[in-house]
């Protein structure tokens, strides 16, 4: 039994381990989830509201009697047979997310809503108050039509700035929440590979806000290899401090606008390649590049690190295009070599 807080109330819910019962027999549901980056790209606008659905999966009714019996739980008073989808079922997130995607795309013949959605978190936006409230009203109508409920204590309406998917979103763009960066900055130096993997996992979560992260963390990536003994030295301490410094200075990512000029900047070092997709704008008669997304990758030691610098730069251009083309396929290229450069 897990206790959760809902405002001032303390709620209790069952957390059942279905791993040894039904989970191993359930087939995964493919192509249901989008990435957080894809959803955060949909929240551009002047005004936005965030809605949290109450109970998430527990709002999905189990109408099939066999499904209810399969998910039955043994208690001191006998079998507890659920009538709603339970936490712990492997396919529960995919089932709920698929239903939410259908709800956002169409309901009673109405078209799609302008919003971002990840499982039970929804963010609706608009460039004007009229557009924003029209989107919000349509979404609330669809919740009512489908019998779904929102958790008002976790909702925020008509805000200039909201917290969505662990990020802070406003009209300027998307930035990291201070709680995320503070957690990284307070992490002590790792004592073993397990703690190092935990730190690198936290750093990877914020990688799209940090330029050329892979080069900075290269000594740490090498240390977690299975055949390498964990020996922490000054080189690793410097890389650890550098990663924390980069996380503390993480960038604000501007909202993608297909009407503005787009520039892809790439770079390469002996340890990795990095790329930045930016908007080219004029502010106070000065041309500036506002970052949309960063990406970086380590070079394979035995092959790519032996490339000549011009070949590494070419690899950086190829990799940057491959990594960030999902955001935009048309851009101007900026790199250190004129051979590849278009601006």
User: Where exactly are the structural domains of the chain?
Assistant: 2-171, 174-248, 253-334
Q: Which residue has the tokens 């787009």?
A: 262
Asked if residue 154 has pLDDT above 70, the reply is yes
Residue 50 is predicted with a pLDDT of 92
Mean local confidence (pLDDT), 190-207 = 90
CA 94, CA 99: separation in Å to the nearest integer? 9
CB atoms within 10 A of CB 323: 20
pLDDT tier at 339, thresholds 50, 70, 90: low
Residue 301 is predicted with a pLDDT of 66
Least confident of 15-24, 88-97, 117-126, 179-188: 15-24
pLDDT tier at 241, thresholds 50, 70, 90: very high
CA 22, CA 72: separation in Å to the nearest integer? 11
Asked if residue 155 has pLDDT above 70, the reply is yes
Kindly give the pairing relationship between strand 272-283 and strand 286-298.
Answer: antiparallel
| Most confident residue range from 93-102, 187-196, 207-216, 304-313 | 187-196
Among the listed residues 99, 90, 257, the one whose alpha carbon sits nearest the alpha carbon of residue 173: 257
- Show the DSSP H helices in the chain as ranges: 36-40, 65-70, 92-105, 129-145, 178-185, 193-205, 213-216, 218-223, 234-248, 309-324
Residue 299 is predicted with a pLDDT of 82
Q: Taking the domain 253-334, which CATH number applies?
A: 3.10.20.370
Asked if residue 96 has pLDDT above 70, the reply is yes
Model confidence pLDDT, tens digit, residues 271-298:
888 888 899 888 888 888 899 888 888 8
Model confidence pLDDT, tens digit, residues 34-68:
888 888 888 888 888 999 998 788 888 888 888 88
Taking the model in full, what pTM does it have? 0.77
Vertex 272 angle, CA 269 and 276, to 5°: 90
Superfamily for 2-171?
A: Reverse transcriptase/Diguanylate cyclase domain (3.30.70.270)
Asked if residue 342 has pLDDT above 60, the reply is no
Q: Longest C-alpha distance within the chain, in Å?
A: 76
Asked if residue 197 has pLDDT above 90, the reply is yes
pLDDT tier at 237, thresholds 50, 70, 90: very high
Query: What DSSP string describes 105-163?
Result: H-BTTB---SEEEETTEEEEEESSHHHHHHHHHHHHHHHHHTT--B-GGG-EEEESSEE
């Amino acid at each position: 039994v897990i206790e959760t807080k809902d405002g001032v109330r303390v709620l209790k819910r069952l957390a059942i381990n279905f791993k040894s019962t039904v989970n191993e027999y359930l087939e995964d549901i493919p192509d249901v989830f989008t990435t957080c980056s894809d959803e955060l790209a949909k929240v551009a606008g002047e005004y936005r509201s965030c809605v949290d659905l109450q109970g998430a999966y527990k709002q999905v009714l189990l109408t099939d009697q066999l499904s209810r019996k399969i998910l039955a739980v043994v208690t001191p008073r006998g079998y507890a047979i659920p009538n709603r989808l339970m936490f712990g079922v492997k396919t529960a997130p995919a089932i709920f997310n698929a239903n939410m995607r259908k709800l956002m795309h169409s309901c009673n013949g109405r078209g799609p809503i302008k919003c971002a959605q990840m499982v039970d978190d929804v963010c609706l936006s608009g460039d004007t108050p009229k557009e924003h409230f029209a989107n919000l009203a349509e979404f609330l109508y669809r919740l009512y039509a489908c019998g779904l409920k929102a958790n008002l204590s976790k909702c925020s309406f008509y805000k200039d700035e909201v917290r969505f998917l662990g990020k802070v979103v406003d009209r300027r763009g998307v930035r990291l929440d201070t709680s995320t960066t503070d957690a990284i900055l307070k992490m002590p130096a790792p004592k073993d590979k397990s703690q190092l993997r935990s730190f690198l996992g936290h750093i990877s979560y914020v990688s799209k806000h940090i330029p050329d992260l892979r080069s900075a963390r290269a000594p740490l990536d090498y240390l977690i290899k299975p055949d390498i003994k964990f020996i922490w030295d000054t080189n690793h301490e410097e890389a650890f401090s550098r990663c924390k410094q980069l996380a503390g200075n993480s960038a604000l990512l501007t909202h993608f606008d297909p009407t503005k000029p787009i520039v892809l900047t790439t770079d390469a070092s002996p340890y990795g390649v990095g790329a930045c997709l930016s908007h080219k704008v004029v502010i106070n008669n000065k041309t500036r590049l506002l970052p949309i997304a960063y990406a970086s990758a380590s070079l394979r030691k035995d092959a790519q690190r032996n490339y000549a610098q011009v070949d590494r730069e070419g690899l950086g251009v190829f990799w940057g295009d491959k990594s960030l083309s999902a955001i935009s396929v048309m851009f101007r290229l900026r790199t250190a070599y004129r051979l590849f450069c278009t601006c």
